[in-house]
Amino acid sequence: MSTLLFVILSSFLFGLLLFAIGQKSFRRITWFASLLPVSLFFYFLSYLTGTSTGEVFDSSIEWVPSLDINFDFRIDGLATLFTLLITGIGSLVFIYTIKYLKGHRHLMRFYAYLSIFMGAMLGLVTANNLITLFIFWELTSISSFFLIGFNNTDRSSRKSAITALSITGLGGLSLLAFAVLLGTLTGTYTISEMLQHPAVFSEHPYSTYLLIFLFLAAFTKSAQFPFHFWLPGAMKAPTPVSTYLHSATMVKAGIYLLLRFSPHFSMNEYFHLILLVFGGFTMLYAAFHTLFRTDLKGILAYSTIGALGIIVFLLGIGTALSITAAIVFIIVHALYKASLFLVTGTIDHQTGTRDITKLGGLRKFLLPLSIAGLLAAISSAGIPPSIGFLGKDLIYESTLHSPYSSLLTTTAVITNIFMVFAGFAVGWKPFAGQVPSTIETVKKPHFILWLAPLMLAVTGIIFGIFPGIIDHLFVTGITDQLSSGTAPHLKLWHGFTFILVLSAITIAGGLLIYKFWKISHKKERAIHRLENISPKNILLQTANYFEQFAYFLTRVFQNGYLRRYVMILLVLLTIVFGVHIFINPRIFLSLKEIRGLEISEIVVCLIMVLSILYTVFTKSRLSAIAGMGVLGYSMCFIFLFYSAPDLAMTQFSIDTLTVILFVLVLYRLPKYLKLSNSTNRIRDGIIATSFGTFLAFTIIEIMNETPLKTTTAFYAENAYELAKGKNIVNVILVDFRGFDTMIEITVLSIAAIGVFALLKLYLKKHEK
Q: Which residues pair with 73 in a beta bridge?
A: 59, 127
Q: Does the protein bind another protein through residue 761 (CB under 8 A)?
A: no
Rg of the chain over Cα atoms, rounded to whole angstroms, equals 35
The amino acid that residue 236 corresponds to is K
Options 105-113, 244-252, 424-432, 665-673: segment touching another protein (CB under 8 A): 665-673
Piece in contact with another protein (CB under 8 A), picked from 231-239, 292-300, 588-596, 757-765? 757-765
Which lies closer to another protein via its Cβ, residue 595 or residue 724? 724
Separation of alpha carbons 425 and 520, rounded Å: 12
Omega of the bond prior to 205 within 30 degrees of 0, cis? Answer: no
- The pair phi, psi for residue 610, each rounded to 5°, is -60, -45
- Read off the DSSP letter of residue 723: H
The residue from 54, 645, 685, 692 that contacts another protein (CB under 8 A) is: 645
Least spacing, CB of residue 732 vs another protein, in Å: 10
CB of 668 to another protein, least distance (A): 6
Q: Name the amino acid, one letter, at 326.
A: A
Least gap, CB of 627 to another protein (angstroms): 20
SS3 63: strand
Indicate the helix (H) or strand (E) that contains 60: strand 57-64
Question: Which of these, 606, 584, 413, 418, lies nearest to 498 by C-alpha position?
Answer: 413
Choose, by CB under 8 A, the member of 516, 561, 582, 667 that binds another protein: 667
- Angle 405-407-410 from CA coordinates, rounded to 5°: 100
Nearer to another protein, 489 or 760 (CB): 760
Interacting residue with another protein among 575, 665, 682, 699 (CB under 8 A) = 665
Q: In this structure, what DSSP letter does residue 102 have?
A: T
Q: Which of residues 696-725 bind another protein (CB under 8 A)?
A: 722-725
Alpha-carbon span 502 to 508, nearest angstrom: 10
Least distance between another protein and beta carbon 664 (Å): 5
Extended beta strands in 525-665, E state: none
Per CB under 8 A, the list member of 668, 671, 764, 768 interacting with another protein is 668
Least distance in Å: CB of 648 to another protein? 8
Listed residue (136, 137, 108, 111) closest to 34, CA to CA = 111
Nearer to another protein, 184 or 727 (CB): 727
With CB under 8 A as the contact rule, the residue among 28, 726, 764, 768 that binds another protein is 726
Site for another protein in 130-169 (CB under 8 A): none
For the residues of 344-412, what is the DSSP string, one character each?
A: HHHHHHHHS--BGGG---GGGT-HHHHHHHHHHHHHHHT-TTSHHHHHHHHHHHHHHTSTTHHHHHHHH
Nearest alpha carbon to residue 291 among 428, 427, 421, 414: 421
Instruction: Give the nearer residue to another protein in terms of CB position, either 603 or 752.
Output: 752
Minimum CB separation from another protein for residue 623, in Å? Answer: 18
CA–CA gap between residue 48 and residue 82 (Å, rounded): 12
Span interacting with another protein, options 62-70, 298-306, 501-509, 756-764, rule CB under 8 A: 756-764
Of 35 and 722, nearer to another protein (C-beta) is 722
| 657 binds another protein, rule: CB under 8 A | yes
Are 208 and 219 in contact by the 8 Å Cβ rule? The answer is: no
Instruction: Identify whether the C-beta of residue 239 lies closer than 8 Å to the C-beta of residue 345.
Output: yes
Question: Which residue's CB is nearer to another protein, number 551 or number 714?
Answer: 714
User: Which of 609/758 has CB closer to another protein?
Assistant: 758
| 64 counts as binding another protein under rule CB under 8 A | no
C-beta of 731: minimal distance to another protein in Å? 7
Does position 646 interact with another protein (CB under 8 A)? The reply is yes
Using the minimum distance from each CB to another protein, give the nearer residue, 505 or 751.
751
Nearest approach in angstroms of CB 742 to another protein is 6
Q: Which stretch binds another protein (CB under 8 A): 95-103, 199-207, 585-593, 661-669?
A: 661-669
Rounded-to-integer distance, Cα 641 and Cα 474, Å: 82
Pick 650 or 690: Cβ nearer another protein:
650
Beta strands in 180-236 (DSSP E): none
674 binds another protein (CB under 8 A): no
Torsion of CA 713, 719, 725, 729, to 10 degrees: -60
Residues counted in the chain: 768
Q: Contact with another protein (CB under 8 A): which of 664, 673, 702, 708?
A: 664
Cβ closest to another protein, residue 539 vs residue 659? 659
- Closest CB 740 distance from another protein, rounded Å: 11
In the complex, least distance from residue 763 CB atom to another protein, rounded to whole angstroms? 7
DSSP string, 638-703: HHHHTT-HHHHHHHHHHHHHHHHHHHHHHTTSPSP---S-HHHHHHHHHHHHHHHHHHHHHHHHHH
Min dist CB 624 to another protein, Å, is 18
SS3 content of the chain, % helix, strand, coil (to 5): 75, 5, 20
Distance CA 531, CA 289 (A): 12
Which of 609, 654, 703, 761 binds another protein (CB under 8 A)? It is: 654
- Between 729 and 748, how does the x/- string for binding to another protein read (CB under 8 A)? xxx-xxx--xx-xx--xx-x
The nearest distance, CB 600 to another protein, in angstroms, is 20
Q: How far is the CB of 737 from another protein (least distance, A)?
A: 10
Shortest reach from residue 761's CB to another protein, in Å: 11
| First-to-last C-alpha distance (Å) of the chain | 57
Using the rule CB under 8 A, is 661 a contact of another protein? yes
Q: How many residues bind another protein (CB under 8 A)?
A: 42
Tell the smallest beta-carbon distance from residue 713 to another protein (Å): 20
Q: Could you give phi then psi for residue 127, rounded to 5 degrees?
A: -65, 140
Which position among 2, 558, 559, 653 is part of the footprint of another protein (CB under 8 A)? 653
- Does residue 768 belong to the site contacting another protein (CB under 8 A)? no
| Alpha carbon distance 71, 11 (integer Å) | 16
What is the CA 235 to chain-centroid distance, rounded?
Answer: 19
CB of 661 to another protein, least distance (A): 6
What three-state secondary structure class fits 190? Answer: strand
In the bound state with another protein, the residue whose beta carbon lies nearer, of 518 and 726, is 726
**Among the candidate windows 19-27, 111-119, 348-356, 657-665, which touches another protein by CB under 8 A?**
657-665
Contacts of residue 677, defined as CB under 8 A and 6 or more positions apart, other chains included, come to none
Note whether 756 binds another protein by CB under 8 A. Answer: yes
Would you say 438 or 727 has its CB closer to another protein? 727
**What single-letter amino acid sits at 102?**
K
CB-nearer residue toward another protein: 606 or 665: 665
Contact segment (CB under 8 A) with another protein among 218-226, 291-299, 583-591, 647-655 equals: 647-655
Toward another protein, which CB reaches closer, 295 or 655?
655
Distance CA 701, CA 696 (A): 9
Q: Which residues of 235-266 are buried (b: 16+ CB within 10 A; e: fewer)?
A: bbbbbbbbbbbbbbbbbbbbbbbbbbbbbbbb
Piece in contact with another protein (CB under 8 A), picked from 77-85, 219-227, 501-509, 751-759 = 751-759
Q: Is 728 helix (H, G, I), strand (E, B) or coil?
A: helix
Report angle CA 368, 370, 372 to the nearest 5 degrees: 75
Among residues 566 and 748, whose Cβ is nearest to another protein? 748
Q: How far is the CB of 122 from another protein (least distance, A)?
A: 34
Q: Which residues bind another protein (CB under 8 A)?
A: 645-646, 649-650, 653-654, 656-657, 660-661, 664-665, 667-668, 722-727, 729-731, 733-735, 738-739, 741-742, 745-746, 748-749, 751-753, 755-756, 759-760, 763
